[in-house]
Chains A and B, each alone.
Chain A
């Protein structure tokens, strides 16, 4: 199932010529575990307001979310052929109104965490998961939210940082003092743990921790994970695979 999702991602990036495939492959294992093992979101309740919520704050990784939602049957799989094209259904960055199942529009960074706080405050009995990028933590609104969470612990909220160490123009480590993020989040009153963001067991365990504070997870990931020529390459924030590259990618993901 996860393999098919990843192949869908590569196919979508190929036919649409859209950017951000590297980000999608970085985050897809996290999304997969969230939707299949952690939150209660299904065909039966997807259109309800009082249910668990997932915010993909790094909205540029949208194809990962589309592919997961399609595989789970939450959106029509045929929609995956209508991405980023004239007359399409699915835009490059998330639009809540595009299909049922997108809990929050996203694209401009740093919006997801405050919105997730609002959702978690509104519905203490439901899980809210906010997934953002490591580069995204440079946004001021993220720190406004982290300061808030220190004094308003929300055990039903989980913040995951997809930490692939690549941002738009550089390596995250070179732009921001990032190595101490986990300690910093702890010091601000969240409960932070670092995991391998491609190890499904570790992801599940971290998401299901029973803690009284806000759960923060730094997931160490690899941009372009699973496709050798994309892994850890900044250019795959922007490029889309050509016909030959598509073949190689699909072969590698099938292994």
Chain B
């Protein structure tokens, strides 16, 4: 996903000289193609996250479109006040590229995990928040990001994502499969896990509506309301805290509407991981595995 990001942005940068790349000293074996192609538009600021975001805002205030690239926590929580004031408050065209949503940096430990980024980013006025789940969404949203007005946060996984053919529109859920038994809304790299579960359901003749919420803000309120009005049970799936991410976004829309809806959140339940292991291992330990079973249990429950 991160390599596709660089490849796509490089293509855009050849057409648009406003695009700059800034990294607080990360991106080894990823960013070199950009650096080689446009050394004058590439800056390694050193291990200086606050300055990276501030410099990006200064470039943006002068008409440039800077992309700040780092591992997720170092482009979100570490320089958060620069993100809030220099990017969001001043509404600058800064792009924050966070690599490694959730537990993508698994064995590296919780300093490198990210289960709060969607929550803190979507709390900021003006900030657009996208979290592509596959290569199609990555490519489309990176291309879109060049023309977006205002700051934008892009949550990337590391590697190994599939490519599903589907239509991607910023601000709208993508429909991967139609159905009306129940609805699965998934964001970011859990798309593959959800896809596999949906295939299993299909084998059993069940038809879930399968939606990819690659854009968390602005959120597709309309689609959520549609589901709620139809009385379709909703499952949200995210490699993120249950607080402030996809589940919260869905629940906020429903709570405001006054319509009653059943929701199963598959998310991280307000805990840091102290487990050691790869992304898939930690996901298992943190309640993000056995998706089909979790959904079946939810659907069987009387209410």
Q: Residues of A with Cβ closer than 8 Å to B? A: 49-50, 53, 96, 103-105, 107-108, 110-111, 113-123, 140-141, 144-145, 147-148, 152
A-B contact pairs, 28 of them (CB 8 A): A49-B62, A103-B61, A105-B89, A111-B82, A113-B54, A114-B55, A114-B82, A115-B55, A115-B58, A116-B58, A117-B55, A118-B55, A118-B59, A119-B58, A119-B62, A120-B58, A121-B43, A121-B58, A122-B59, A123-B62, A141-B48, A141-B50, A141-B54, A144-B50, A145-B48, A145-B51, A148-B51, A152-B43
Find B58's partner among A110, A118, A140 (CB 8 Å cutoff).
A118
| A120 CB, min distance to chain B CBs, angstroms | 8
Task: Give the nearest-CB partner of B53 in chain A.
Answer: A114
Contact status B61-A118, CB under 8 Å: yes
Q: Contacts A105-B89, A141-B82 given: A115-B46 contact, CB under 8 Å?
A: no
Contacts of B81 in A (CB 8 A): 108, 111
Task: Give the nearest-CB partner of B24 in chain A.
Answer: A144
Answer yes or no: B224 CB below 8 A from chain A CBs: no
In chain B between 55 and 107, which residues have their CB closer than 8 angstroms to a CB of chain A?
A: 55-64, 66, 81-82, 85-86, 89-90
Contact status B90-A118, CB under 8 Å: no
Chain A CB within 10 Å, residue with most, of B52, B57, B58: B58
| A188 CB, min distance to chain B CBs, angstroms | 12
Q: Contacts A111-B82, A141-B82 given: A119-B50 contact, CB under 8 Å?
A: no
Contact status B54-A145, CB under 8 Å: yes
Answer yes or no: B8 CB below 8 A from chain A CBs: no
Task: Give the nearest-CB partner of A122 in chain B.
Answer: B62
| Known A118-B66, A122-B58, A140-B50; 20 more pairs at CB < 8 Å | A103-B61, A104-B61, A107-B85, A110-B50, A111-B82, A111-B85, A114-B53, A114-B55, A115-B61, A118-B57, A118-B59, A119-B58, A119-B59, A121-B58, A122-B62, A122-B63, A141-B48, A141-B50, A144-B48, A148-B45
Contacts of B51 in A (CB 8 A): 113-114, 117, 141, 144-145, 148
Contact status A117-B50, CB under 8 Å: no
Contacts of A50 in B (CB 8 A): 62-63
Chain B interface, DSSP helix/strand/loop, else mixed? helix
Chain B CB within 10 Å, residue with most, of A49, A53, A103, A111: A111
Find A114's partner among B54, B63, B90 (CB 8 Å cutoff).
B54
Question: Complex Cα distance A24/B221, Å?
Answer: 47
Q: How many residues in B have their beta carbons less than 8 Å from beta carbons of A?
A: 26
| B182 CB, min distance to chain A CBs, angstroms | 45
Question: Complex Cα distance A122/B54, Å?
Answer: 13
Question: Complex Cα distance A116/B54, Å?
Answer: 8
Q: Residues of B with Cβ closer than 8 Å to A? A: 43, 45-46, 48, 50-64, 66, 81-82, 85-86, 89-90
Q: Contacts A49-B62, A105-B90, A121-B43 given: A115-B57 contact, CB under 8 Å?
A: yes
Question: Complex Cα distance A53/B59, Å?
Answer: 12
Contact status B45-A115, CB under 8 Å: no
| A125 CB, min distance to chain B CBs, angstroms | 11
Contacts of B85 in A (CB 8 A): 105, 107-108, 111
Find A144's partner among B45, B59, B64 (CB 8 Å cutoff).
B45
Question: Complex Cα distance A104/B92, Å?
Answer: 11
Task: Give the nearest-CB partner of B45 in chain A.
Answer: A148
Contact status B63-A115, CB under 8 Å: no
| A128 CB, min distance to chain B CBs, angstroms | 8
Contacts of B61 in A (CB 8 A): 49, 53, 103-104, 115, 118-119
Contacts of A110 in B (CB 8 A): 50
Contact status B63-A49, CB under 8 Å: yes
Question: Complex Cα distance A103/B86, Å?
Answer: 12
Chain B CB within 10 Å, residue with most, of A110, A141, A147: A141
Contacts of A120 in B (CB 8 A): 58
Question: Complex Cα distance A145/B56, Å?
Answer: 12
Q: Contacts A105-B85, A122-B64 given: A147-B59 contact, CB under 8 Å?
A: no
Task: Give the nearest-CB partner of B51 in chain A.
Answer: A144
Contacts of A122 in B (CB 8 A): 58-59, 62-64
Contacts of B64 in A (CB 8 A): 122
Question: Complex Cα distance A108/B45, Å?
Answer: 22
Contact status A148-B59, CB under 8 Å: no
Contacts of B86 in A (CB 8 A): 111, 114-115
Question: Complex Cα distance A104/B66, Å?
Answer: 17
Q: Contacts A96-B90, A114-B82, A118-B61 given: A147-B48 contact, CB under 8 Å?
A: yes
